[in-house]
Structures are given as C-alpha cells and as structure tokens.
A and B are shown apart, each in its own frame.
Chain A
C-alpha cells in the first residue's frame, strides 16, 4: 500500500489533488536506441513508437549510411524496421488507425503500417509541392487524424482525414513574411481551426476562410508567443511566451485560468496538457507539472525523455523506463489516501482484518453498513483505475477481494458490476503484458472502445489473444472471433513461402464453418497475391454465392462460377455467368458448354424465348430437339403474312415431327396443310374468307351455305367422326333456321348421337313446337321429362312422368312449377298420390 502512495505528489497544498507516476515498462530498447539522437513518434493509446535518426544531431553512423526507421511497441520491443529511401522527412506521426504518416518537405505524405509495409501516398497539393513545406501539425478529428502543413509561402493547408484526403487552404495571415513564432491546429465541434502566433499577435483561422485577431488577456502585453499546446479534448489552451510566462486558459482564449512564471525564457522542448487540469512543460531533463492555480510539481530526469499525450495523462518515454503520469483517479484516492474515511477505505480495512482473522472486521462492516454498495463500488472502481505494475497485481487483487467481501453483506447488490470489472481488468492486464505492450488505462480503454482495441490487436497480428478476449467477453462471433479469423486468414494467404495446399488446409481447418467468415474476402486477397488455386480452394467454402460467383469469374473460372451460381438457385447470378460465357467464348464452344448443363441451358432458352425466337429454334436444332423445333415452326407459321411462308414453316414442322418420330403430329401437320390449300382453293372459287378457320368452322360455314357436297368431301377427307359431323350439321341447320332440312336430316338415317341434340337446338332457338312435335317422341324415355321441363311444357312433362311411374320425376317437375299455377301444382300432387296409391 505504501508503494502506491509513495509515487503520489500533491499539486498544491491541502487541495487533495495528487499526480502519480507509475512505471509501465522497463524499455527493451535500452541497447538499441539513444534517445538523445533520434526523432520519436509515439502513437497515443499505448500505440507503437517510430524512431528515426535525428539529422540535425551529429551521430556516429555504424554500417550503412542509409536511414532506417525503426518501429517499437510501447514496451520497447522492436516490431519492424525499414530502410527509408524516399525524400527528406520533416515530421512523422501515427494516425488514429495506427498508420505511420511520414511527411516529406515536398508535401508528399507516405503511409506505412506498423510492420513497415508501404501502404499508399498522398500529396498536400501543388503549392506545397512547389514551394516546399516548413512544418506540419497533426490533429484529431471526428473522422480520424488530420494533418496541417505550413508551406514556405506561409500558407496553411489542411486535410481533415488522412484516410480520405481533401485539401483545404486556411485563411491567409495578414503581413506574415516570416515563419510564425508558433502555431497549432485543432478540431472543435467539427471545425478545424488554427491558432497562429506572429510574435505577439495571435490569429484564429477557420475553414471558412476567416482570420480573426485574438487578444488573450495577458497581464504583460507584447510578449512573443513561442510555444502553444491544446488539450486532448481540444477545449484548453496553453501559451508559452518569450518572457517565460505560461498562459493557461480556454481554447477560444476567452477565459484565462492563470499566468504562471516559469522563470525560464527558453521555450520548452515539449509542452502539452496532462489530462485537462494541468500542463506539462519539459526542458532538458526537467519536467514541470503546472496546475491551473499556479501550483506545480517538479520532476528531474537524468536522461532525455519524450512525452506522449493521452486522454487521462501523459506517458513519459525514457531510455530505460516508460512511465505514466496522471492525476490520481478519485476512486483510487478515496481508498488509499492516508486517513481517508471514505467507505471504500473502511471496507478495505475490514477485508484486511477479516483476512487476519480479527473481530475488527465486523466493527468496520457495521460502520459502513448503510453504504455497503457504495463501498463495494468504490473498491471495484479503484481496482479498475489502478495501474498495477507489479507482477503479482497485489493491489488489484486486494481491492477486488475487499469488494467481494463487502458484496457478501450487500445482499441485494447486482453481481454484474463486479463480474464485468473483473473481466475488464483481466483483459487490461493481458494487453499490458510486455509481449503485447499496449499500456492502456481503464479510462483510455473506455475512450478507445473495445472494438478498436480488438482491431489493434488484429493489426499487431495478436490473433489468438484477440480471439480469446472475444470469447472471454462473449462478444458475438460475427463481430468477434470470425472477424479476427478472417483477418488472420487474409494475413496467412500473403505468406508466399508456404505451399498453397498447406495454407488452404490450415485456413479451412481453423475457420471451419465459423459463421460470418467471408471466405470470398480471403480468396480475393489470395487472388490479389496471384494465388489463384488457393483462391479457388477457399471460395469452395464461401456460402454466399453472390460473393463467390463474381470472384470466380474474376479469376477466370467461369465453369466453376456457373456450377456455383446454379447451386445457389439465384437465376440472375446464373444469367450473369451465361452472358459472360457468351461474350468470352466462341459461339460453338459456348453452345457446347451451355448444353451440357441443363439448368443453364433452360435459362438460356428462356432468354431466347423472350428476346430472339430464331435463336431459340436454332438452339433446338443444334441439340436435335426436333419435337420442340417442330413447335417453333408451328408458332412461326402463324406469324407469317404470306401463305407460301406459312406452308413452308408447316412443312418444316412436318419434317421435324418426322425426325422426332411423332407420326401422329406429322399427320396432323399434313392435314392442316391440306386444309389450308383447300381453303385457298375455296376462297378463290367463292370469294368468301375461309382461311384461319378450323376444320369444324369451315364445315359449319359450308353447311350453312348449303354446300353439303363440299362439307361431305371434307368429312371424308379428314375422317371426321360421324357423331361430331351430326352435331355440326344439326347446329348449322338450326342456326340458319332451316327446320325443314333438319327434319329431313333427322330422318335420313338413325342418329348416332340420339335425338336429344335436335331437341336441344330447337330449345336454343326457342322453337318449342318443332321440338315437341318432331323430336321429343324420339328422345330416349329417361331424358324426356327433363327436356319437356326445359321447354316449359310442364303438363306434358307431368304426364310423361306419370306414365313412366316415376315419382322423383314428378317431384322434379313440381320443383319447376311456379306457385302462380295452382291448378298444375294440384294436378301434379294428385298424380303423385295416385302413384303412391298404386304402390
């Protein structure tokens, strides 16, 4: 416990504000790097550190004279190094996605990843290129990392996001003919602004092209501003003047918290905010922490150090040591401060006594009985916030033990808080561990978010750790484990030295059927690396055909693509492949390959059917599908305007049917052709239209016109069944009202269809008498009653029914009787009773 308080320094007296230094790591780079002779760029959130030789300092160069950029983890372990062979670098820094941005004096910005792999380059514009740039500043925006450059023409150009660089020029500063004495850029409320000091004058430039003079309230006017710093949250500003005064206030310069006399005219090597409540200034081997009420802490160093700002403090990189300087978090202070009567502190005491087996534990618990929950929360919070750098993590453990002890007495307390805290602490400890080397505090993790942390682990290729964290925290597979595995696989396929076979097995074994892994993405990567076979193998595992098929086509595996598209059932996808095949293959080959696959073949036919019927017929011809070809001919024949062409098409149909060995249909086509010829002949003779009539209609027309001989001729020629011919004739005669002829016909010989049809046509033309007199007597007896009823001859019907002695028929007649004819109803009823009496 003493060790914790031992590192605390009070800022001001009696104010209960302490700043503490915790050791993060003993740097592994001690033998590799001389901090006094290098330029350093360290990423925030415990990110990687890039180091290059400082050209302005004289160094003994060993070996090659080529400049090398080294990249270390925050623990000082080397991650990578690469030889710099581009232009002159003015400045370098890390972006929020942990890309190393190297700004050259010609305005080119080269982007590398943490493994020193070149990613891309972008320029800061023509003017920057033409005139060259003097200095640059990096800043954080909602879109990521922004960059501002000051050209030799003293203009400032900014991009708000290095991911998507759009260059904007800030307003010009009036009368600036030398480099500004100091400047900085920050982004507040989505507005990028620059503060530029021209000696004693301060200007605020914004994106809108405005330039405003600013007059921060200085007690002593006319001091040159030589250094400035904006806090991480962009709300506070510190200005250092030529007379050694440090002005602390808001970033809009409207309010001033204090002016502090550092008694040092030399401008500090580094000036930055530590959190939001104190400013840190560093001169050679001297570190000053200045609060907003002129209170200060003073630290001395034996070696040069480099400061890295964080949201809740600063990290101090030294030759041998990496430290964290932060304001002691409230919860930690409550628990550990000497003489603290906070409930958390008492709970700690109780837990300690309990472990010692002392009854005092009970006394302490009684003291805080009413605020046990509060006490537990304090301990949990303190455990999260404390940066325990001992190997045994005894402070965290003690705090959590106390929390767990207290929780036993707080009956209703929800355990989630405790469980979540323990899990998070484990994760934090795991990533702080030297081999990983990401020294995040609890506050930093909250601001960074867990998702980004996982991203960063992926970036560092700590795949197993990332997966274990996801599994431990029960993050859903699609955003956790499977995402990580996919990244792993993408990395894996780039390892050209491993045989494809082995890679494919390794990847599929590990990924299996993990939900949400995009094999297509991995395969795409493999194909980008020129490993087509591997890509194909991997694509086999991709469940989404819509991803799989385009990629297969991209690597020219159209045949596989077609199979996969068909498997998916997505016809649009099949068409995509078919049309591509049609484009890339020769006609013959295309037909060959398409006819081999039935599904593709039928879809292609469907397309032809809608777009090009000639092609459709051609396809049938090519595949010897004579049956369908014949039907195409028939279809086409009806689209022809000339009789010759129609007959030619029908001849085609006939031949195809013959080839298909469909004799019946061949015969039908023959008949049709004969009919058409006959109709033509007839049209010429009689000048009446016959074409496009069916055989039956033709005969009807003939019979109506009294051309019995011709009709008879057709009947024989086309072997029209007797029954149907009788029907045609009966209907034709009735339609023309030729009752006499009908009567004659009925008597010509015995009707093959009975005499009901005769009665029926009479009925249709409402010729009741004709029906009653001539045909009813000849109708078969069981239908007689029905027809009489239909004809409205109810009395006759009743009598016939009576004669036939059928009660149900009588009932049928009765049902059709209108109640308006009471006589008839009575009669039928009497007939019915007679019938029943007989029985």
Chain B
C-alpha cells in the first residue's frame, strides 16, 4: 500500500496494481502519470485497476479517456466505502471539502453521497421512522433520501427499524461553535496537535521515560510519537469527553489505584494469591502504560493552556459568546493582527465575533479586512471573499444571537467542570446550538415545539418528516410495561453535514449518559473538524509564483 504520488510508481515485482482514490479530477492526472511512466518503462506488463471511493463518476472516466489511459485499466469500478466507523458511536465520511463545496460553490455532490450513505444505513438497520433537521443542506439531503426510497420502489429490505430517529444538522445553523476553542480533553488534543483518523502525533520528548527500559538510544528519537485514541482504551474512554480541568483529578486517582494494585504483591502470601496477582499483571501493565501516556499528553496540553496567549484568546472568545463588545473593533483582535499571530487564529476570532454579532457594521468589517490585507498580504483577499460567501464574515443583519442565546440557554454561568450537570461544560459554560437542538428534540412528548419561537431565528428550513413503515415492522412497545421500564432508550442518529467538533460529540455523549436521558445518540458526520482545520478548508489554496521578470 503506497500513497498516490506524482512520478514513478514504487519499484515492485507485483503483477497487479490497484488504485483506490476519491473521484477527483486532479487525482486522475496523478494516476495517468503513474500508469504512463510504468508502461513506458521496460519489463513485465502489469495489470492496472482503479476503484473509486465511494463511487466512480462520469467526469473521472472522461478525464482518464482524455489522458489516454482509460483502456489500460482492466477494472474501473466503485468501492462504495461511504462511512468510516471511528468509534462505537461515531461515523465519519471523511469528506473535508463538503462544507466548502456546498457553501462556496453550490456543488452538492457531497450531500448526494451523504444521502447515499443514509440509504445504506437504512438498508442495514431499517428505515428510520422520523427525520428531523434544520438548515438548507439538511433539507436537500432529506429530500434526496425520501426520493431514493421512492426510487427503490418497494424493493427495500424489510427490517425492524433499529434507529428511532434521524436528526440532520447543517453546519450553517451553528457557525459559532466550531470557531470556539474546545475545552474537553480530546477537543484540546485536537486543537493543539490535530487528531487525524483517531491518531495523534506528538513530540517525543515527554514520552522518553516510558521507553527507558529499551535503552538510551530510543529515548532521543526525534520522530513524532503516534498514539491511537479511541474508546477501546479504558482510561481514554473515561477522560476523553471530560473538561480538561477535570482530567488531572482522574489521572491522579488512577495513579493511586494502580500503585495500590501493584502494592498487592506484598500482600500475596500463598501460591494461589500470587498466581492471581500475576494473572492481573498484564492488565496492570497496560493500565500503567496508558496512564503514563495520558499524563504526558495532559502535561503537553497544560503547557499550552497555561500560556497567556491561550488564556487571553479564551477570555476574548468567552466575551464574544456572551455578546460583550461584539459590535466594534475589538482591541485584543487588533493586537493579534498587529503582532502577526497566526492568520487562522485571527480569522477564528473575527468570524466568532461576527457570528455573535450577526454580522459587522460595514465600517468595522472594512477596517478588519484592510488590517488583514496589510498585515498578512493581499493574496488573502480571496480567502476573505470565501469566508464572506460561507456566511462566516458578513455585514450586519438581524440581531438574533442574544435571543437565541437566551432561548436555547447557550450560556450557563455556573457549570461545574468537575461534575457537570449540563452539556455546556464542554466549552466551560457555552452549549453549542447543535447540541441544544438535539437535546430539545429528544424531550419526550414535546420535541421542538417548546422552542418553536427560537427555531425561526436559526437560518434554514426546519424538517419534520415521518417515513411510512409497514405495520409489521413497527417496533413493539408494550404499553403497560413502558411506564416502568425506561431502560429501552430511543436511538437517535445525529448527522452533522459540514463537520462536527469533538466537543459537540462529547456533549452528545454526555446527554446519552445522563440518568434521566430517554435518548441515546449516535453521531455521523462528513468530517470531524476544529476551528483551524475548518477555516483552513475554506482558505484559498494558492501557490505563489515568484516574480522572475522585473519591469
């Protein structure tokens, strides 16, 4: 397995070469180059195959024909891998450009893929009886799903529905949340180091102690250390969704527990007791290593969160979320620009201020724009234009954020970070609109009716559809026992179109685990994002060609 690269294919003696790729035109050129170079070289003839994930497109096939390599392939087909399971409750489609394509270019190909994926989900787990949603793109996906069901024309598999409802959320309904710095453990790891396909790469220095046993040489390795993060690891499952301020406690408690377990060996007297202890050793070892890793990661994270830049930035963010001083040029942002802090940081703050203020006054907007162009360079004019098209930067419209903040209780003053009682702990006192929507929807007997007036403040149409299900396939709910047995929770699939943050995921998991919760959430998304990766996807990729000729 090799990553697709321009130039020659790696030297191998294999007979068959299989390409797996997204149906993107630029990739076709790489593949064609690979194939042509291989064909030109002497030696044994190889057979080529190409599989498009999740489906082949006419455009790509045409491109291959144009490049004169179409006939060379023995197979050209689909590999319909639509969703990647990242955890037991988390699916990602890994389409990082979905939000960009939809909002900047009105290219809804990715939404079609989402609808297809939802059809796959329904084919496997039964037709989902209720679809709710909010936002333009959510509506589009919902319409396509309903249409595709019609296209199936009664040939769908008859399965008792295992998912009770689907909530389609468009990222455009909540542009503010991803911009804020996530304050859960996992969220912070992502913000600071970036989690890619559940893997984080960290500077190795902090981990040197754990590899001491292997000798000095490895302790000084400069290679980044890769750590896989998922709920399979017991400790990580416990702390990943906690507010970072609560992680330290857990880690020290665990450390004590492990050393206590280790101390048991002194108490073991009989052969039986020793045997029992030895049998536990691998578990203790694993727990110890896990604890070591996370203590190191937590230290790395803490270094950052203690810095004055981080604190200052967070402070400003919280001011914005509270709607303080959002209508004029903010001195902190101004200073950040002057100091030439990273552009993404500045843009995050700017877009956040804009979202909390429902747009800027033209004067303020122009001031910010000019500051950015003068400081970071004129080429960013295109990025600014992109952000405007995506609705992240805009001129002031109706001021709805304060009403929304109040109506959905986005700001919670005294949330406990250690033992939270509200989902807002994930941003230390701010609950994302998306999470509140899911939370209100799950209210038994009420749904969104209780927040109807607020719903209109959120952009985009509201969706409420009941899909018809054959009588025989309806979930049997014994009316008598349902009063007592609340253990049968309803399952809601929350699909974030355009991306979701780890903090939002954490908030939904928190809601699932509440004692009085009637709903269990599973999450699907086009891509897991954070403010930086999200804004980066919207920035215009530009290769600056240096000037070679002067006047």
| B-binding residues in A (CB < 8 A) | 476-478, 482, 515-517, 543-545, 567-572, 575-576, 579, 598-599, 602-603, 605-607, 609-611, 631, 634-635, 638-644, 646, 664-665, 668-669, 671-672, 675, 680, 683-684, 691-697, 718, 720-721, 723-724, 727-728, 731, 753, 757, 786, 790
Contact = CB atoms under 8 A, between A and B. Distances in A.
Contact of A543 (B151, B379, B546): B151
Nearest to B111: A569
A631 B381 contact: yes
A643 B140 contact: no
Given A516-B153, A727-B335, A692 B115 contact: no
Contacts of B154: 476-478, 482, 515-516
A766 to B, nearest CB: 15
Given A568-B147, A569-B140, A790-B308, A724 B371 contact: yes
Given A569-B147, A602-B106, A642-B548, A668 B540 contact: no
A720 B111 CA distance: 44
B108 interface: yes
B27 to A, nearest CB: 11
26 contacts: A477-B154, A515-B155, A516-B153, A517-B153, A569-B115, A569-B143, A570-B112, A571-B112, A572-B59, A572-B109, A579-B62, A602-B107, A634-B378, A635-B540, A638-B379, A640-B545, A641-B545, A641-B549, A643-B551, A664-B366, A665-B381, A680-B550, A694-B375, A723-B338, A724-B371, A731-B339
A300 B548 CA distance: 110
B58 A575 contact: yes
A599 B112 CA distance: 14
From DSSP, what is the main secondary structure of chain B's interface residues? helix
Given A569-B111, A575-B57, A753 B335 contact: yes
Given A571-B108, A609-B105, A642 B385 contact: no
B58 A572 contact: yes
Contacts of A634: 378-379, 381-382
Contacts of B147: 543, 567-569
Contacts of A568: 144, 147
B150 A543 contact: yes
B374 interface: yes
A545 B115 CA distance: 15
Nearest to B149: A543
Contacts of B374: 671, 694-696, 718, 720
B51 interface: no
Contacts of A665: 381
Nearest to A642: B549
B366 A724 contact: no
A603 B102 CA distance: 11
A724 B329 CA distance: 13
B153 A572 contact: no
Given A753-B335, A753-B338, 14 more contacts: A515-B155, A544-B151, A575-B59, A606-B101, A610-B24, A631-B385, A635-B382, A638-B379, A675-B378, A695-B374, A696-B340, A724-B337, A727-B339, A786-B308
Nearest to B376: A694
B370 interface: yes
B140 to A, nearest CB: 7
Given A516-B153, A575-B57, A692 B546 contact: yes
B144 A724 contact: no
Given A668-B381, A694-B376, A572 B57 contact: yes
Given A571-B109, A599-B106, A692-B547, A635 B366 contact: no
Nearest to A569: B144
B547 A642 contact: yes
B260 interface: no
Nearest to B388: A627
A606 B107 contact: yes
Contact of A641 (B105, B378, B547): B547
Interface in B88-129: 101, 105-109, 111-112, 115
Nearest to A721: B371
A599 B340 CA distance: 40
A668 B376 CA distance: 13
Contacts of A672: 373, 378
A680 B549 CA distance: 11
B422 interface: no
A646 B547 contact: yes
B377 interface: yes
A640 B550 CA distance: 12
Contacts of A517: 153
B312 to A, nearest CB: 11
B362 to A, nearest CB: 8
A724 B375 contact: yes
A836 B379 CA distance: 58
A638 B542 contact: yes
Interface string B4-37: 0000000000000000000011100000000000
B328 interface: no
A609 B541 CA distance: 13
A609 B540 CA distance: 12
A724 B338 CA distance: 5
Contacts of A571: 107-109, 112
A515 B158 CA distance: 15
B399 interface: no
B335 A694 contact: no
Contacts of A606: 101, 105, 107
Contacts of B25: 610-611
Interface in B320-351: 334-335, 337-340
Given A516-B153, A609-B105, A720-B374, A638 B544 contact: yes
Contacts of B339: 727, 731
Given A642-B549, A724-B334, A731-B339, A598 B106 contact: yes
B369 interface: yes
Given A606-B101, A724-B334, A643 B369 contact: no
A516 B155 contact: yes
Nearest to B545: A639
A639 B338 CA distance: 28
A731 B375 CA distance: 14
B109 A692 contact: no
B373 A668 contact: yes
Nearest to B62: A579
Contact of B547 (A643, A697, A728, A786): A643
A576 to B, nearest CB: 5
Contacts of A728: 338
A694 to B, nearest CB: 4
A644 B548 contact: no
A675 B378 CA distance: 10
A48 to B, nearest CB: 33
A567 B151 CA distance: 13
A517 B153 CA distance: 8
Report the 8 A-B pairs with minimum CB-CB distance, sorted nearest first: A515-B154, A727-B338, A602-B106, A694-B377, A642-B549, A571-B109, A515-B153, A695-B374
A727 B25 CA distance: 45
Q: Indicate the member of A603, A634, A638, A723 with the most B CB atoms within 10 Å.
A: A638
Contacts of B62: 579
A398 to B, nearest CB: 38
Interface in B387-443: none
Nearest to A641: B548
Interface string B224-239: 0000000000000000
Given A609-B105, A695-B375, A631 B144 contact: no
Contacts of B106: 598-599, 602
A753 B335 CA distance: 9
A760 B456 CA distance: 47
A785 B41 CA distance: 71
Greatest chain B CB density within 10 A among A570, A671, A753, A757 is at A570
Contacts of A646: 547
A571 B378 CA distance: 34
Nearest to A668: B373
B111 to A, nearest CB: 7
